Chain A
């Protein structure tokens, strides 16, 4: 079993839909959770960074962490075609500044106009 599991998609939705992206993990040492957006042939861009279980909201994005189930989610409200990208979850045992990140494979999201 891989440390981080993420459905690669693609996930196709119409513009305006609510998108739900998920990752599961097996390593209970993971304490910090991140979501990155990666456009084709570009480096990842940090979207959300969470530590505790619960929800964290930033604009149209909500990150949810359930440590008891080892399950994290990213919700995108009112999705736009510009949201079309690959979304990577990442996690680490310590503050990621000094700690290695373990990434999921990424979920490709396609938002059609």
Chain B
């Protein structure tokens, strides 16, 4: 149990376009979902935390207008990178948690390449 999926696994887009990444908890309901970004040989950096039905909480330095997060249901959260630029190229990973007593279960990640 506790499987998290992400779609797509890899995306290449042109500079200036927007990209949507989906994160789904397949066999459990996730009250909280987290979005991370990981650059090569770097640790995972938390971008934002989202609770179902409410606005996401962004970490300092993360532009909320650029990285739009929607957590519309207990099994789905989406991250939209708007007007993507080459410096947004990274590995984006989501995690999901059932409740405060649970750990975070990570998705397989989405590799974004902006040309």
Contacts and interface: CB of A to CB of B under 8 A. Distances in A.
Interface of A: 4, 6, 8, 34, 36, 41-46, 49, 88, 90, 94-98, 100-101, 103-106
Contacts of B6: 43
Interface residues of B, number: 28
Given A41-B111, A43-B93, A95 B101 contact: yes
Contacts, number: 67
Contacts of A46: 103-106
Given A95-B100, A97-B101, A97-B102, A44 B93 contact: yes
A34 B105 CA distance: 12
Interface in B1-44: 4, 6, 32, 34, 41-44
Prevailing SS type, chain A contact patch: loop
Given A8-B41, A98-B99, 12 more contacts: A4-B43, A42-B108, A43-B4, A44-B44, A44-B106, A46-B103, A46-B104, A49-B103, A96-B103, A97-B97, A97-B98, A98-B32
Nearest to B30: A97
A56 to B, nearest CB: 14
B99 A45 contact: no
B114 interface: no
Contacts of A106: 41, 43
A98 B91 CA distance: 23
B44 A100 contact: no
Interface in B58-92: 59, 91
Contacts of A90: 44
Q: Which of A8, A34, A101 has the most CB of B within 10 A?
A: A101
Nearest to B46: A100
